[in-house]
Structure 1
Amino acid sequence: MRQLAADWGVAHGTARTALAVLRTEGLVVGVPGTGTIVQKRGDQGAGARAREARGTGRIYPPGQYAKITAAELVPAPDEVAVGLGVDAGSEVIRRARVTYRTESDGSEIPQSASTSWFAGELAEQAPLLLERDRIVQGTFGYIEEMTGRTPVEVLEELRLSEAGSDEEFIFGVEPGAPIIRGENWLLDDEGDVIEYGQSVLRPDRTVSYRFRLDQGSGAEISTRPEPRPDPAARWHRR
Structure 2
Amino acid sequence: MPELEQSLPKYLQIAGHIRDRILRGDLQPGDEVPSERQIASEWNVSRPTATKALEALRVQGLVESRRGSGTYVLNRYDLNRRARERYQKADQTGRIYPPNERAEIVAAEIVEAPAHVVEALALGSGQRAVRRHRITYRDDQPVETSTSWYPADIADRAPRLVERGRIREGTLAYVESTTGRRARHAYDRVAARLAGEEELAVFGLTGPAAVLVVRHVVFDLDERPLEFAEAVYPPDAWTYEQQYTIH
Note whether the superposition's TM-score is higher than 0.5: yes
Aligned-partner Cα distance in 2 for 1:32–1:74: 50
User: Which residue of the partner structure matches residue 118 of structure 1?
Assistant: 150
- Count of paired positions: 194
Q: TM-score, length-normalised on structure 1?
A: 0.69
Match of 1:132 in 2: 164
Structure 2 unpaired stretches of 5+: 21-33, 63-78
CA distance in 2, matches of 1:4, 1:143: 33
For residues 128-178 of structure 1, give each alpha carbon's deviation from its aligned partner in whole angstroms, at most 9, with x where no partner exists: 100000113221121111111112312112212211111111111111212
Matched, 1:152 2:152: no
User: Which sections of structure 1, spanning at least 5 residues, go unmatched?
Assistant: 6-14, 103-107, 218-238
2: CA distance, partners of 1:130 / 1:33: 48
Secondary structure of 1:87's counterpart equals: coil
Aligned counterpart, 1:48 = 85
- After alignment, is 112-121 or 172-181 more displaced? 172-181
Instruction: Tell me the C-alpha RMSD between the 2 structures.
Output: 3.6
Q: Is the 8 A contact 2:109 2:162 kept in 1?
A: yes
Match of 1:86 in 2: 123
Q: Show CA shifts across 1:174-229 (max 9, x none).
A: 11212111100112222221110011001232467899x8xxx9xxxxxxxxxxxx
Q: Do the aligned partners of residues 146 and 171 (structure 1) sit closer, same or farther apart at CA in structure 2, a change above 3 Å counting? A: same
Query: Relative to structure 2, which stretch is displaced further, 40-49 or 119-128?
Result: 40-49
**Letter paired with 1:32:** W
In the alignment, which residue of structure 2 is the partner of 1:234? none
Counterparts of 1:176 and 1:209, CA distance in 2: 24
1:163 aligns with 2:174: no
Distance, in Å, in 2 between the alignment partners of 1:92 and 1:33 is 50
Evaluate the alpha carbon distance shift between residue 33 and residue 87 of structure 1 in structure 2; reply closer, same or farther with a 3 A threshold.
farther
SS at match of 1:4: coil
Deviations 1:35-66 (A, max 9, x none): 98x97964311122122212221211231100
Q: Does the 8 A contact of 1:77 with 1:88 survive in 2? A: no
Whether the aligned pair in 2 keeps the contact of 1:117 and 1:196 (CA below 8 Å) is yes
Counterparts of 2:164 and 2:91 in 1: how far apart (Å)?
21
Query: Closer, same or farther in 2 for the Cα pair 1:100/1:93, shift >3 Å?
Result: same
Fraction of identical pairs, as percent: 31
Report the AA paired with residue 147 of structure 1: T
Distance 1:208 1:161, change over 3 A: closer
- Report 1 or 2 for greater relative contact order, CA contacts < 8 Å, sequence distance ≥ 6: 1
